Amino acid sequence: MNANREFILNAEENTRRQIIAKHVSNGVNIPCADGVIIADGCEIGAGTVILPNTIILGKTKIGCGCTVGPCSMLEGCTVGNNSTVNASQCENSVIGNGVSVGPFSHLRPHTVLADNVRAGNFVEVKNSNIGQKTSISHLSYIGDSDVGEGVNIGCGCATANYDGTKKFRTRIGNRVFVGCHTCMVAPVALGDGSYTAAGSVITDTVPEGTMAIARSRQIIKRKVRKYNES
């Protein structure tokens, strides 16, 4: 049994090396092949860099001049030219040209990132369309949403897309500024050029060019118990 396992391991390693060698001969830069697994049938453009511990599965297609990895996994994805996927996982998604993903992001199935989108660290996107030059820089969840162009989504934002029974979509127009820690309770729409104040829970339509503030007023208590550092 151990001999059989060793034979299989050696066979798989030979196949892995052959696939890597084929891509290198086609102009792909793989400076260190440690942990790099590329499924047969994947397409990678010339000038793209594949860094260690990167796994590329399914019929993934990656354009030219990209950087993928380290520690990334792409399965069934299409990636345009000059994009970066750093320490992230992407499944059955479309990534445009000049896109930056990660580190530590997760693109779940049916996500489309248009050209020059940024999905920064600890961002999760699922079943959503994100327009050109939109930035989701950090610590946010965007699910079942249609987001326009030039949108800025602040830190700690989320779309509340599931009520326990059904899922609903959030629609965000162009050039919208979503303040930090905004929760958008779907189904809800934010019009073009609108704003949300930080810490808001948005439950109704935000008209074009307006600002929504949905949070309780701060209250200051004059007498409080003394803070004990110990």
Average pLDDT of the chain, as a whole number: 95
Question: Residue 188 — pLDDT band, cuts 50, 70, 90?
Answer: very high
The SS3 call for residue 57 is strand
Per-residue 3-state assignment (H helix, E strand, C coil) for 126-147:
ECCEECCCCEEEEEEEEECEEE
Question: Residue 228 — pLDDT band, cuts 50, 70, 90?
Answer: low
The SS3 call for residue 43 is strand
Residue range 1-126, CATH number: 2.160.10.10
- H/E element holding 163? none
Kindly state the average pLDDT of the residues 170-181.
98
> Distance between CA atoms of 166 and 152, rounded to whole angstroms?
27
The SS3 call for residue 215 is coil
Q: How many CB atoms are closer than 10 A to CB 228?
A: 5
Give the pLDDT of residue 217.
86
Give the pLDDT of residue 221.
76
* Region(s) of the chain under CATH 2.160.10.10: 1-126, 143-222
Question: Residue 109 — pLDDT band, cuts 50, 70, 90?
Answer: very high
- Four-way CATH pick for 143-222: 2.160.10.10, 1.20.1260.10, 3.40.50.300, 2.40.110.10: 2.160.10.10
Q: What angle do CA 76, 81, 86 make, to 5 degrees?
A: 65
Q: Identify any residues that bridge with 29 across adjacent strands, giving them in sequence order.
A: 49
The pLDDT of residue 138 is above 70: yes
> Distance between CA atoms of 50 and 106, rounded to whole angstroms?
18
Give the pLDDT of residue 8.
87
DSSP 204: S
Please give the distance of CA 157 from its chain centroid, rounded to a whole number. Answer: 14
pLDDT in tens, 71-104: 999 999 999 999 999 999 999 999 999 999 999 9
> Distance between CA atoms of 213 and 129, rounded to whole angstroms?
25
Question: Residue 3 — pLDDT band, cuts 50, 70, 90?
Answer: confident
184 touches 205 (CB < 8 A): no
Give the pLDDT of residue 55.
98
b (16+ CB within 10 A) / e for 33-71: beebebeeebebbeebbbbeebbbbeebbbbbbbbbbbb
Residues with a known catalytic role: 138
Structure tokens at 214: 């949905």
